[in-house]
Amino acid sequence: MRPVNTGNGAGYNPRDTLSFKSTASDNLKLLGYCPIDNTKGKFSLTDCLAAWLRYRQTELERIHSKKKTKSATWTALVQVKNAIENQVGTIYKTAAVPLSEQLGTFCSYCGQPLYTSVEVEHVLPKANYPTFSTSWKNFVLACGPCNGKKGKSDKPSRSEAILWTNKTNPTEGELYTAIRAHYSWPDTQPMAYRWMPVRLGWVKNGSWIEFSASESVNLNNIILSTSLSTRKVIAQVYINNIPKQGEVQAQVVYDKSKPTAFAMKGMVNLNLIGNTANTYDRRMMNRTVAWFHILGLIKVFSQVKMNAQTWQTLLLMARVTGFYSTWVSVLNLSNLKFDQTKWVDKFVSDSASFKNPDFFPNTVTTDVP
């Protein structure tokens, strides 16, 4: 996982008020919130998010008590929540452009390039933690599958996060801090790559068996076939200089000795093959194919005279391929050098420092590789 710096939100200017028609406006007043402009049904964004949080807390209480009766307050909360959520969506989506300019158009979790759809992903899911639904510090970029896998379950639950604070009634800020500390997020954990690198291995009898470094980056390794219907990648890999054929996968390896990294394993499910009945989730397959594309590019570029121009061309190819962590893993295991500098070190430094959206801007490189 590529560690990134999302910056201070320059270019993201969320409005601080929401305006509602009579029904939602009347219900907000019924719930005790005072409008800034009564004639226009205008309320502060802070009050609106507080009302949404109140809805979620009340909903959880109703679930716990198995309460089914609908009071006037509950009916008002439901209507208000729906009205607020619709408008909040128009606010946080405006962060997509400044986030893309800050990080480059890559998924912050799996690393694949986002050629068309770029989704603003809430680190703390807005359904459980609406207080942070428009907050820049709660945003990263995500592809549809990563955003969907994480958002489907709205992890972590409020009950889980409350336990992590060791407090009975923590504030929303304390819940935020606890959740940030519980996982290795790409925008807060500089060790995200080291604790969750990519490695290549055989898939045999339902098990994944990692190759040695020399086996996984042999420049003669090639893909023989791919199948979208099964998500299988069949490759020829040299083992002790003897070509062997079989199914391979480039998996994210979670460091079990680092609890915050291992906790990410179930968050976005980066090593799932996806539903083979459709084309939606191809993250594993795309990452595996990218591994071999990177090997092919390295083979070509290692046979030509490397200079500033050819090196920049390689960086441009990396931007097209995406999967930053896969590039770093392959280059690190390859141990190639350019003017006495390891390719991996030069790649990490140059792809982050060019300050160009064509590369990998604002990567936190202190602990990469």
Q: Are 273 and 231 in contact (CB under 8 A)?
A: yes
Alpha-carbon distance 161 to 205, whole Å? 37
**Of 155, 15, 26, 156, which Cα lies nearest the Cα of 80?**
26
Could you tell me if 50 and 161 lie in one domain?
yes
Could you tell me if 47 and 77 lie in one domain?
yes
C-alpha distances (whole Å) from 213 to each of 27, 48, 131, 330 are 63, 54, 46, 9
Could you tell me if 204 and 178 lie in one domain?
no
Whether pTM exceeds 0.85: yes
Alpha-carbon distance 132 to 128, whole Å? 10
Continuous H helices in 122-212: 144-152, 158-165, 172-182, 192-195
Could you tell me if 160 and 293 lie in one domain?
no
Q: Are 201 and 210 in contact (CB under 8 A)?
A: yes
Q: What is the pLDDT of residue 152?
A: 61
C-alpha distances (whole Å) from 195 to each of 105, 319, 368 are 23, 23, 10
Could you tell me if 217 and 349 lie in one domain?
yes
Q: Sheet with 207-210: list strands edge to edge.
A: 207-210, 198-204, 242-252, 232-239, 222-227
* Lookup: tokens for 258: 């680092």
Alpha-carbon distance 35 to 32, whole Å? 10
- Select from 133, 152, 182 the last residue of a domain: 182
Could you tell me if 177 and 202 lie in one domain?
no
Task: Confirm whether 216 is domain-assigned.
Answer: yes
Task: Confirm whether 359 is domain-assigned.
Answer: no
- Select from 182, 213, 238 the last residue of a domain: 182
Task: Confirm whether 133 is domain-assigned.
Answer: yes
Strands 207-210 and 222-227: unpaired
Q: Are 342 and 350 in contact (CB under 8 A)?
A: no
Could you tell me if 229 and 281 lie in one domain?
yes
Could you tell me if 117 and 203 lie in one domain?
no
Residues 6 or more apart whose CB falls under 8 angstroms from that of 40 comprise 19
Task: Confirm whether 153 is domain-assigned.
Answer: yes
**Of 212, 291, 201, which Cα lies nearest the Cα of 246?**
201
**Of 294, 290, 215, 295, which Cα lies nearest the Cα of 251?**
290
Task: Confirm whether 83 is domain-assigned.
Answer: yes
Q: What is the pLDDT of residue 75?
A: 95
* Lookup: tokens for 260: 């915050």
Q: What is the pLDDT of residue 362?
A: 93
Q: Are 101 and 357 in contact (CB under 8 A)?
A: yes
Could you tell me if 46 and 170 lie in one domain?
yes
Task: Confirm whether 291 is domain-assigned.
Answer: yes
Task: Confirm whether 361 is domain-assigned.
Answer: no
Could you tell me if 211 and 291 lie in one domain?
yes
Strands (E), 21-102: 42-44
Single-letter residue type at 285: M
Q: Would you tell me how many other CB atoms lie within 10 Å of the CB of residue 93?
A: 12
Q: In a structure prediction context, what are the per-residue pLDDT tens digits for the chain, which is 369 residues long?
A: 999 999 999 999 999 999 999 999 999 999 999 999 998 999 999 999 999 999 999 999 999 998 888 899 999 999 999 999 999 999 999 999 999 999 999 999 999 999 888 999 999 999 999 999 999 999 999 999 999 887 666 889 999 999 999 999 999 999 999 999 999 999 999 999 999 999 999 999 999 999 999 999 999 999 999 999 999 999 999 999 999 999 999 999 999 999 999 999 888 889 999 999 999 999 999 999 999 999 999 999 999 888 889 998 999 999 999 999 999 999 999 988 877 889 999 999 999 875 555 699 999 999 999
Could you tell me if 210 and 235 lie in one domain?
yes
The total number of structural domains in the chain stands at: 2
Could you tell me if 225 and 161 lie in one domain?
no
What is the domain range of residue 315?
198-252+272-353
Task: Confirm whether 134 is domain-assigned.
Answer: yes
User: Cα 300–305–309 angle (5° rounding)?
Assistant: 90
Q: Are 236 and 245 in contact (CB under 8 A)?
A: yes
First-to-last alpha carbon distance for the chain, in angstroms, is: 11
Q: Which residues on neighbouring strands pair with residue 237, listed in sequence order?
A: 244
Q: What is the pLDDT of residue 151?
A: 61
Q: Are 271 and 251 in contact (CB under 8 A)?
A: yes
Alpha-carbon distance 118 to 100, whole Å? 8
| Dihedrals phi, psi of 293, to nearest 5 degrees | -60, -40
Q: CA quadruple 184, 185, 187, 188: dihedral positive or negative?
A: negative
